[in-house]
Structure 1
């Protein structure tokens, strides 16, 4: 049976400064944002809409703030408020892990609204542009979670070839759920979005596919991850991650309905 290697979370040290693998995964996410963004700008319908490489650098600055602030506040408020309110200094220890995607999503929406206002662009055109650039960054973050031995999976059948013991949890075989989420919520969603966004779509459509796709993918992969806590809706019990994914599914459906209702007004996005 596989055993989680529990690697040192510190990748290397420079004097008194320790660089954590989790932080490096976020650096990977931001670099791929720039590289994919440049590739996206070379698509004819994107270039025709006036997108330039210089936009990416400025947008990344806003996006990093949205991801870090929103992701951390989401972790604090959505998942572990009691712990963080009892240990307020831990709120700032982002290098230890603990970032909520749903919180980061809201943070990025706010950041992009500010950037769009600054540049005089429509908010949903901006969101349509960046949507395909997000999933691979998310996948990198999940790899960081695995290195930190965070987000252990639910107990699995010992016959599962990739069932894994997490020594920091117990001696039971578990699903390596961060890899599931990296592959399904990240890589698979990226492929779908990238292919869909290669052609001009109605405004809000690419954002709609992202929200719907991520919400459905995350709802599915949560079945393999140990829930942070369980929410009961009548006779049905779902995890916190599934509960937070339902609004994204609803948002995605609404955006797609509105986008294709007004598809006569297709813009390059």
Structure 2
């Protein structure tokens, strides 16, 4: 049995000001996005992309992540509370972000970005999708450092006690998500997108991969106390991930067939 190290959530103390690990994980994700994007521009034939365009895409995406993530948390997880206290949606320092909300925010942001550049939506998303997983992994590592979003009780050899919560050995579900949503999904998307693919299929693979990994890991993650498990014994995260998988499968089939039709025309 392991014990969570109980890291100080503040990475750097500067008098009364502190830089939190979670903020550094966001920064790591954004910098990784830029670094990987510049590599793709230099080594792979992504027509029309420049360093300036990449920087602009990050700006749009960051706004989508923050605004969508916060609104998604308020609406998906604590709608009743935030409808009664709408101004507290702006209190980002209180914590509470939803991946699925952030994902929807990024979709809207990238749609606006594509229109502003006269480009197709999936042309943008197929370039962006492989740049995202390492940032997701960094976010999950931030969750682990903070000792939040812990797992369900377990007796596996690597089960971990989170002393700030209780003395029960639990799945370190944050690390599962770091591995699957961050590392494995990155490798899968980076490999698949390294060769020319039908437009939309890279985006579809992201939807299928993330949705499937998140759905599976949720079986080991402790449900939110204020929600618990929902219909069919599934968590909110699982119910929000199912549409991603379904949409991804549909998009992959449609995109592949469309490309095949054009090839045979």
**Aligned Cα RMSD in Å?**
1.7
Match of 1:206 in 2: 202
TM-score normalised per structure 1: 0.91
Change (3 A) 1:90 1:24: farther
Match of 2:3 in 1: 3
TM-score normalised per structure 2: 0.92
Cα distance between partner residues in 2 of 1:230 and 1:177: 17
The 5 Å alignment of 1:1-269 reads 1-46=1-46, 49-85=47-83, 88=86, 90-157=88-155, 160-228=156-224, 229-232=228-231, 236-264=232-260, 265=262
Cα distance between partner residues in 2 of 1:201 and 1:120: 21
The residue matched to 2:18 in structure 1 has which SS?
Answer: strand
The residue matched to 2:218 in structure 1 has which SS?
Answer: helix
TM-superposed CA distance for 1:87, in Å, is: 5.5
Cα distance between partner residues in 1 of 2:66 and 2:208: 23
Once the two structures are superposed, residues 218-268 of structure 1 have per-residue CA deviations (whole angstroms, 9 ceiling, x without a partner) of: 111111101223121xxx2211100000010011011101111111458xx
Q: Is the Cα–Cα contact under 8 Å of residues 165 and 173 in structure 1 kept in the other structure? A: yes
How many residues matched? 259
- Unpaired runs of 5+ residues, structure 2, are none
Q: Is the Cα–Cα contact under 8 Å of residues 102 and 244 in structure 1 kept in the other structure? A: yes
Cα distance between partner residues in 2 of 1:87 and 1:185: 33
Once the two structures are superposed, residues 191-231 of structure 1 have per-residue CA deviations (whole angstroms, 9 ceiling, x without a partner) of: 00000000111111000000011111111111110122312
Mean Cα displacement is larger for which, 87-96 or 63-72?
A: 87-96
- Unpaired runs of 5+ residues, structure 1, are none
Once the two structures are superposed, residues 20-57 of structure 1 have per-residue CA deviations (whole angstroms, 9 ceiling, x without a partner) of: 111111000000000011111123332xx221122111
